[in-house]
Amino acid sequence: MAHSGRTDANGGHTCRTNCEKWGLSYGQYHYHNGGTTQKTSTSKSPQSSSSKTGNTKTETIHVDPYTQAETLIKTAESYAGSLKWETSYDYRVSKYSSNPVSQIDMKLYNNTKIAINAAKANTNVFLYSNLEERLNVLNDVYLRTQAYIDAINSGEKLLVQSQNYQSFNKQDASSDKTKNAYNELIKLSQKTNTMIYRVYGKSTREAMLEKYNVE
């Protein structure tokens, strides 16, 4: 089926107008009138292709590079949108009311990380400024989440160390074990406070400081 629109040097073009009328999807790259069929798309792995053998031509349809790159971004955004709430105390206090200051859903975190890395691996993402900006937003969500995870891990270690110190102190306040446990507690407390102040969100930081206060 012939339709209007100029073709490039390879004998094809990207459909932008009345695509459904010609049996195409918006953004699909396709060839016309014997265009080069052996040339691969700039995308790494075309998602769909078809060939028609007739008397005069062979047609191959490729996914537009922008469409493929944006699909990867959208997948990562879907995961990151849920992950962003996992680090918010205001959200966690309603969802995890019994223990809001706790570790996030690590499965969701890992799925988000995989999706972001998949988007980064597609070089077409960096050809379009709007997609690169969306990727930068995803990176911010990932880094904020990492800061939250690190603070929680350090805080939980601090609580354990506090219990160890109290146990030694009850047995013998002047023993070397007690002194060593105290020194370790002080160092871990300072480390935890530093990590907490890297966490995004005032209410989240305040909740962490309250839970991991071992004075």
Mind listing the pLDDT tens digit for each residue in 44-71? Answer: 444 445 555 555 566 666 778 999 999 9
Task: Answer yes or no: are the C-beta atoms of 209 and 198 closer than 8 Å.
Answer: no
HSE, side-chain direction, 13 A CA sphere, residue 154: 25
pTM: predicted TM-score of the whole model, two decimal places: 0.70
For the chain, domain boundaries: 1-63, 66-211
Q: How far apart are CA 103 and CA 153, in angstroms?
A: 8
- Structure tokens of 111? 């799925």
Q: What is the CA radius of gyration of the chain?
A: 28
Which tens digits make up the pLDDT trace of 186-198?
999 999 999 999 9
Across-strand partners of 186?
A: none
**pLDDT above 90 coverage of the chain, percent:** 69
Task: Answer yes or no: are the C-beta atoms of 18 and 50 closer than 8 Å.
Answer: no
